[in-house]
Structure 1
Amino acid sequence: MKAAPVFKITPTIQEYDWGKPGLSSKVAQFATAAGLAGFSVKESTPYAELWMGTHTKSPSLVSSTSEPLGAYLSKNPSFIGEAVAHKFHVTDGNLPFLFKVLAIQKALSIQSHPDLATAKVLHADHPDIYKDPNHKPEMALALTPFTALCGFLPLPIIAKYLSVTPEFAALVPTAIAERFTSLSTSSTPTGLEEKQALKDVFSAVMTADEAEFKAQLTKLVDRYAAGKVHEEELSVKELVLRVNEQFPGDIGTFCVFLLNYVQLQPGEAVFLGAGEPHAYISGDIMECMANSDNVIRAGLTPKLRDIPNLVSTLTYAAAPPTKHKVQPSPFRGTAHSTLYDPPIPEFSVLQVVVPAGEKERHPPIQGPSIAIVTEGSGQVSWGLSGDNLDLGEGTVVFVGADVEVEFTAGDAKFVVHRAFVEA
């Protein structure tokens, strides 16, 4: 009997300290609603991530057989598609992307992800830390109000913080600060000199003497708590106090004066390519990335910090936060689907919002996809014989390459997020 090209898969749950506890987490909500086998909510447990994919750390399973998804796809290569398999050198049924739900209560680490060449070197040199040789460009699509630090601030804003925030300025040697300030109004903010000046400031902060930066952070927090805030600092005051409360005495707090503070509403998205520093602060998101778990960390974390590699691999491309926003677009003549298409080949994401009782047909997509119901219930159907599956909140399905599908809403709004790849 020929295998069905659309089938349910069972995602996996990751519990990290920064996750939202109990049913306040979208991860726990989806797992509970979908009746995830063996899952029982504990209100004090931080449910941080729901993984949907084939990554070897925590692969999804075919729900009907409990077989690892990658193993199943290796036996059914047509579900990945010849063109995608060739372009991305797919072996063992391993998908080019990893799809996640994140529920963030505490700030994630100050981090970046390596490019492909760097990932291969890091994996070869430190396979116990960097466990795969792949890069990890990623996109975050907000399900709830979401905040994050994303990419370096424009140079004039950093220079302004150096002039009005003495605790921050104290971590940067005078010569470095003066050179940076002199270049901060340059007409070529991403020129070689400007990038080097920004790198020098960032490196000085991240490698500052521990006793010195802790003393300065105490002064900063005490000043803000006393309400002594310069006008230029008002937008980050509460963030500084929040992050310091979560990670007392951590150098990562000073990154507030170096990185863009982004606040997204549901349906808005940001993309972070290789070498872009970032830290997610709060909210629930859909996250999609190349199939990797490589993270270079430097602050706001109890995990290993690799400051030398972080400093040496960043792009130092200072820009407003709009640089990182993904502009959605219509999807191939559909009425209820929005495409989020970042500038990398490994993945794109669709947000499908079908009104009660209506249908949404997706034309065949050249490669494989994974979809999760994030609100409501309905049905997905495919094929000439009208094969179908009932879908409820939290249900995850795999859709094979070149399969036309139709989503039908029940008696309420039906929302599906679908990640896919094409050659």
Structure 2
Amino acid sequence: MERIDCEVKNYDWGKKGADSVVAHVFQAGHPHVPIDPNRPYAELWMGTHPDGPAVIRSTGRKLSTHIVETEAGDNNNNLKKNRQELHLAFIQKLMSIQRTLSLQVHPTKEEAEWLHEQDPIHYPDRNHKPELAFALTRFELLCGFRPAQEIALNMRTFPELCVIMGVKNCKEFCELAQEEQRNAKTLKECLKRCIKSMLDMQVNQPRKVVEQLESMYYTINRQNVRGCLLEETVDVMNRTHDEFPGDVGCFAPLYVNHMILEPGECCYYGAGEIHAYLSGECIECVGCSNNTIRAALTPKYIDRENLVKILNYRMTKPDFYLVHPETLAQFPHVEQYAPDCKDFTLHQIKISRPTSSSTTFSLPTLSCGSILIVIEGSAHLDEPQTSNRQRAARGDIIYIPPSTEVRFIDVEERVLAYRTFSYEEGPDHESRSEAAKATLEYRKGNGIVPDSIVNQHVDKRPFNRLIMSESEKHDFMFDPEMEADGFL
């Protein structure tokens, strides 16, 4: 096992200075680095992705290079010869969120590959990006479309939403929602038209969006009209309006679930799910990708057509997205969070200070590489089969190679740690640097994902072809730091 140094992202939406858990945890592992009270500390990336690669502390070599040099054995000689780096399938992140991130969605692998070929500037990766969020503090997010009955209630309660989504569309939606099971497919098609109308209005009639937002907020705050909104959701809407005045994304809590995760709760969503993080701290596990299709609540590139097409339009209660822990029989101090996703599994490790200093706490031996971060406490990680022993205290991040037996020893303070792993091989990013040099002059076709690719994974979801006009294509170069997920 090796101690690794990882990269902090200072995105504007992050908590500043001493208010950020990211800042405190990072400084604990790097005592010589002071915390800047005026700087946001948004994310700590732990993985091999080119936008934030981990390095081996003892050698300064990138972790992806270290894996090639130390783990590509006899069965992988051809792979070792042909590739200079091998990537993990995941990125583990620590996040501290002060301001709302963009309303967004992520593509499937097939959609990501197609988007990358068409537009490597805005879609620099060929990989998908499923996401898991484990709450360290009270953590708020928008995730997935509300149940149809709730959306219909808010349409009837707030006429401003109908103006934005199209009065005819909303009337049809409310009628279809009365017999939701029988009309499930048609209901999704209608919701799609509602979303398209709303996003188009932001571009074509921005003043009308402002007027409808002003009217809606008067109805909510002066007349105390609620629909199916809880008071916590009203607070979110007011905060979002302060951060993004005039943005059509301010309507999102009317049709997207507002989830509040308490510490220790966890949620997961895959490709095609609309979402936006709002506030709090979490451990996040994502596929090794930086592809994001944005809808609103951001000054960055918004790809309306592909977003409308790729959304899955699932309407369900927020409980659908929760991931429940599994305690491992032989490891009572380890809880496993394993969503329906091959790209990552998360282990939470909680160890109370033992009565005897000789007590050991073994971790599962995995046939794949993993990354472990200590959030609280002080101990050591020991390899019983070797003399390798690493300090494991707050802020320490350790890469554990495949088939390595490790255990916590010398526990001095209660330990809280998180370990992410995957048995999948990570994506090949070696062509990514060339893609980053490309310009939109190389764009092929109209930049809209074909029906044949979208329909592979969305269960008979029909889509109409949408064409992006030349005036909507941005002409700036891709900047990994700027385009990273959620940067505002």
TM range (shorter): over 0.9
How far does residue 82 in structure 1 lie from its aligned partner after superposition? Answer: 6.4
- Does residue 1:96 correspond to 2:92, yes or no? no
Report the CA distance shift for 1:109/1:213 in structure 2 as closer, same or farther (over 3 A): same
Q: Give the whole-Å Cα distance in 2 for the aligned partners of 1:190 and 1:23.
A: 51
- Does residue 1:49 correspond to 2:31, yes or no? no
Report the CA distance shift for 1:206/1:390 in structure 2 as closer, same or farther (over 3 A): same
- Unaligned 5+ runs, structure 2: 425-488
Q: Give the whole-Å Cα distance in 2 for the aligned partners of 1:156 and 1:363.
A: 45
- Does residue 1:268 correspond to 2:265, yes or no? yes
- Does residue 1:215 correspond to 2:229, yes or no? no
How far does residue 360 in structure 1 lie from its aligned partner after superposition? Answer: 2.1
Q: Give the whole-Å Cα distance in 2 for the aligned partners of 1:90 and 1:265.
A: 43
Q: What CA deviation, in whole Å up to 9, does each residue of 1:93-112 have, x standing for no partner?
A: 21111111111000100001
How far does residue 409 in structure 1 lie from its aligned partner after superposition? Answer: 5.9
Correspondence for 1:294 among 291, 302, 306: 291
In the other structure, the counterpart of 1:375 is 376
Q: What CA deviation, in whole Å up to 9, does each residue of 1:206-231 have, x standing for no partner?
A: 22221111111112223333253235
3-state DSSP class of the match of 2:332?
coil
Q: Give the whole-Å Cα distance in 2 for the aligned partners of 1:90 and 1:283.
A: 39
Correspondence for 1:24 among 19, 28, 37: 19
3-state DSSP class of the match of 1:270?
strand
TM-score normalised by length of structure 1: 0.93
In the other structure, the counterpart of 1:304 is 301
How far does residue 30 in structure 1 lie from its aligned partner after superposition? Answer: 0.9
Correspondence for 1:33 among 28, 36, 39: 28
In the other structure, the counterpart of 2:414 is 413
Correspondence for 1:9 among 4, 23, 30: 4
CA contact (8 A) 2:353 2:412 kept: yes
In the other structure, the counterpart of 2:388 is 387
- Unaligned 5+ runs, structure 1: 1-5
How far does residue 255 in structure 1 lie from its aligned partner after superposition? Answer: 0.8
Q: Give the whole-Å Cα distance in 2 for the aligned partners of 1:335 and 1:34.
A: 27
TM-score normalised by length of structure 2: 0.81
3-state DSSP class of the match of 1:364?
coil
Question: Which amino acid is 1:348 matched to?
Answer: T
Stretch of structure 1 that moved more, 40-49 or 406-415: 406-415
Q: Give the whole-Å Cα distance in 2 for the aligned partners of 1:128 and 1:10.
A: 28
Q: Give the whole-Å Cα distance in 2 for the aligned partners of 1:230 and 1:343.
A: 35
3-state DSSP class of the match of 2:224?
coil
Q: Give the whole-Å Cα distance in 1 for the aligned partners of 2:182 and 2:337.
A: 28
Question: Which amino acid is 1:313 matched to?
Answer: I
3-state DSSP class of the match of 1:390?
strand
3-state DSSP class of the match of 1:160?
helix
Give runs of aligned pairs for residues 144-159 of structure 1, distance below 5 A: 144-159=137-152
- Does residue 1:229 correspond to 2:225, yes or no? yes
In the other structure, the counterpart of 1:60 is 54
Q: Give the whole-Å Cα distance in 2 for the aligned partners of 1:190 and 1:362.
A: 49
Structure 1 vs Structure 2 CA RMSD:
2.1
CA contact (8 A) 2:206 2:246 kept: no
Give runs of aligned pairs for residues 230-249 of structure 1, distance below 5 A: 230=226, 232-235=228-231, 236-249=233-246
In the other structure, the counterpart of 2:186 is 193
CA contact (8 A) 2:180 2:187 kept: no
3-state DSSP class of the match of 1:342?
coil
- Does residue 1:141 correspond to 2:137, yes or no? no
Percent identity reads 31
CA contact (8 A) 1:354 1:409 kept: no
Q: Give the whole-Å Cα distance in 2 for the aligned partners of 1:211 and 1:316.
A: 27
In the other structure, the counterpart of 1:109 is 102
How far does residue 383 in structure 1 lie from its aligned partner after superposition? Answer: 3.1
CA contact (8 A) 1:382 1:405 kept: yes
Q: Give the whole-Å Cα distance in 2 for the aligned partners of 1:230 and 1:359.
A: 54
3-state DSSP class of the match of 1:30?
helix
CA contact (8 A) 1:335 1:360 kept: no
In the other structure, the counterpart of 2:122 is 129
In the other structure, the counterpart of 2:199 is 206
Question: Which amino acid is 1:322 matched to?
Answer: D
- Does residue 1:397 correspond to 2:390, yes or no? no
How far does residue 359 in structure 1 lie from its aligned partner after superposition? Answer: 3.4
Stretch of structure 1 that moved more, 367-376 or 201-210: 201-210
CA contact (8 A) 2:105 2:292 kept: yes
3-state DSSP class of the match of 2:272?
coil
Q: What CA deviation, in whole Å up to 9, does each residue of 1:32-53 have, x standing for no partner?
A: 111166x332111111110011
Q: What CA deviation, in whole Å up to 9, does each residue of 1:173-223 have, x standing for no partner?
A: 222112111111334288321211111122222222211111111122233
Q: Give the whole-Å Cα distance in 2 for the aligned partners of 1:82 and 1:270.
A: 37
Correspondence for 2:324 among 327, 330, 333: 327
Correspondence for 1:355 among 336, 347, 352: 352
- Does residue 1:175 correspond to 2:168, yes or no? yes
Q: Give the whole-Å Cα distance in 1 for the aligned partners of 2:27 and 2:365.
A: 31
CA contact (8 A) 1:189 1:318 kept: no
Q: Give the whole-Å Cα distance in 2 for the aligned partners of 1:82 and 1:404.
A: 22
Report the CA distance shift for 1:234/1:270 in structure 2 as closer, same or farther (over 3 A): closer
